[in-house]
Amino acid sequence: MAESPYDLCVLTSEAPPPLPGSRLLFSLDAAIAHLDHGSFGATPLTVQRAQRRMRDEMEANPAGFFDRGLPERLAHTRRHLSSFVGADPDSCAFVANAGVAVALVLRSMALDEGDDIVTTDHGHPAVAAAVARACAATGARHQVATVSLAGDGPDVVTAVRSVLTARTRLVIVDHVTPTSARVFPVADLTRAVHQAGPAVLVDASHVPGALTANARETGADFWVGDLHTWAFAPRPTALLAVTWAWRERLWPQPTPERRDSGYPDVVEPRGTIDYTSWLAAPAGLFALRSLGLETVWAHNRALAEYGQQVVGRALGLDRSQLPSSGGPSELPMRIIPLPEGIAATPVAARTLRHRIAEDLRTETAISVWRGRAVLRLSAQVYNRAEEYERLAAGLPDLLGAAHGQR
């Protein structure tokens, strides 16, 4: 039995009804279909106003804002947000985003020539680039585990274990994969990797606000989740949770005197940056909870499923050719493989994304994964079924024209 009308829409492939009034909560341009929430998020008006009030306070007395009370306010906010992501309050520190956290952890690993860093081929290109830079600087090696989407292929635990070596220092794995929109069993993976010895970093960029987040239960040495994407916080806001054994080894700050202040002060202070995005993040959680977490999740996954089916059919794909469509998915994102030969390089993918935005007035995400372009569609409460239908109506001709111009 379906748990909600939105779950019934998934079963019947019908367009889910919109959440009443939800579009009015955002300042998004109504002339554009914003189907790429997963890349940058969107901040509700109430959260924008909360941050604006804090900025007004900061500008009214900058010295007082930065010099008196800021650490205590950050600590109070951090405790509130850590409960939402299921992390120990003392383990958390604010960072700008997951990419900053990955770079911080890599710098703190004290890598040496011959050490190994392991990722999967489902990870974000920016993470792979950060690992490549760390390896080039230290002589470490980047090992990539290939995880098949097919039912008869190796699962992520088997795939990662197959590339572990005696010199593996760190495994980086996504909880929700950005390129293939899959949920990985990160707790199982962490247990398996820890048996072999290496540390684990769980990149949970797409988890807070989209799925139930429980950093503690993953068992990872490092866990990072962006709050500005699905949890409606102002950009840039993320939480990094670090186990006790690693906190004293983090050394991102260039000023040695900060070492004595301990964690999380070795991570958070950045002089006169705008801390109001972090301080206003609880307003995002309030907006999300006001809509109803379960209702938002049910709406978003039903709309993402509908969008994938509508656009997939327009491109001549049946359900078996659409990843994650063979069964229910918790995610508010879906991917659609684009025709072979279309946008097969990162530069071509970016060009195609820009053309879709200009010609079809639709924002999407396009990346190249395993040599083929994939379109990623997101669904959020401000989206409507007709936006995906409009994309489906115009995309085949646009792709045909792009193919003819190659």
**Across 22-31, 209-218, 256-265, 346-355, least confident range:** 256-265
For residue 66, tell me if it sits in a domain.
Answer: yes
Q: What percent of the chain has pLDDT over 90?
A: 77
For residue 37, tell me if it sits in a domain.
Answer: no
Q: Is the confidence at residue 373, as pLDDT, over 80?
A: yes
Residue 404's pLDDT band (cuts 50, 70, 90): low
- Same domain for 177 and 56: yes
For residue 159, tell me if it sits in a domain.
Answer: yes
Q: Residue 34's beta-bridge partner residues?
A: 363
- Same domain for 164 and 217: yes
Rounded to whole angstroms, the Cα distance separating 406 from 401 reads 9
Rounded to whole angstroms, the Cα distance separating 337 from 380 reads 21
User: Pick from 269, 285, 301: which residue ends a domain?
Assistant: 285
For residue 238, tell me if it sits in a domain.
Answer: yes
Q: Is the confidence at residue 258, as pLDDT, over 80?
A: no
Q: Look up the CATH number of the domain holding residue 331.
A: 3.90.1150.10
CA 203 to chain centre: 8
Reading the block at residue 398, the tokens are 């646009």
User: Pick from 225, 257, 285: which residue ends a domain?
Assistant: 285
- Same domain for 325 and 366: yes
- Same domain for 304 and 277: no
Question: What pLDDT does 319 receive?
Answer: 84
For residue 38, tell me if it sits in a domain.
Answer: no
Side-chain half-sphere exposure of 184, counting CA atoms within 13 A: 34
User: Looking at per-residue confidence, does 148 or 351 come out higher?
Assistant: 351
- Same domain for 322 and 361: yes
- Same domain for 72 and 145: yes
Average pLDDT, the chain: 91
375 touches 353 (CB < 8 A): no
Q: Is the confidence at residue 7, as pLDDT, over 90?
A: no
User: Pick from 227, 253, 285: which residue ends a domain?
Assistant: 285
225 touches 204 (CB < 8 A): yes
- Interval 69-102: pLDDT, tens: 899 999 999 999 999 999 999 999 999 999 999 9
- Same domain for 245 and 204: yes
- Interval 174-228: pLDDT, tens: 999 998 899 999 999 999 999 999 999 999 999 999 999 999 999 999 999 999 9
- Same domain for 133 and 245: yes
Question: What pLDDT does 345 receive?
Answer: 92
- Same domain for 216 and 325: no
Question: What pLDDT does 320 receive?
Answer: 79
Rounded to whole angstroms, the Cα distance separating 131 from 120 reads 12
Which residue segment(s) compose the domain that 61 sits in? Answer: 47-285
For residue 36, tell me if it sits in a domain.
Answer: no
- Same domain for 218 and 74: yes
What b-and-e string marks burial along 87-108, b requiring 16 or more CB atoms within 10 Å of the CB? Answer: beeebbbbbbbbbbbbbbbbbb
The closest alpha carbon to 362, from 332, 338, 394, belongs to: 394
Residue 260's pLDDT band (cuts 50, 70, 90): low
DSSP 261: G
- Same domain for 274 and 332: no
- Same domain for 110 and 237: yes
Residue 250's pLDDT band (cuts 50, 70, 90): confident
Q: Look up the CATH number of the domain holding residue 256.
A: 3.40.640.10
For residue 85, tell me if it sits in a domain.
Answer: yes
Please name the residues in contact with 324: beta carbons below 8 A apart, sequence gap of 6 or more: 181, 182, 308, 331, 334, 335
Residue 150's pLDDT band (cuts 50, 70, 90): low
> Domains in the chain: how many in total?
2
Question: What pLDDT does 259 receive?
Answer: 47
**Across 112-116, 132-136, 187-191, 265-269, least confident range:** 265-269
CA angle, 131 then 135 then 137, to 5°: 120
For residue 274, tell me if it sits in a domain.
Answer: yes
Burial class (CB in 10 A: 0-12, 13-18, 19+), 347: exposed
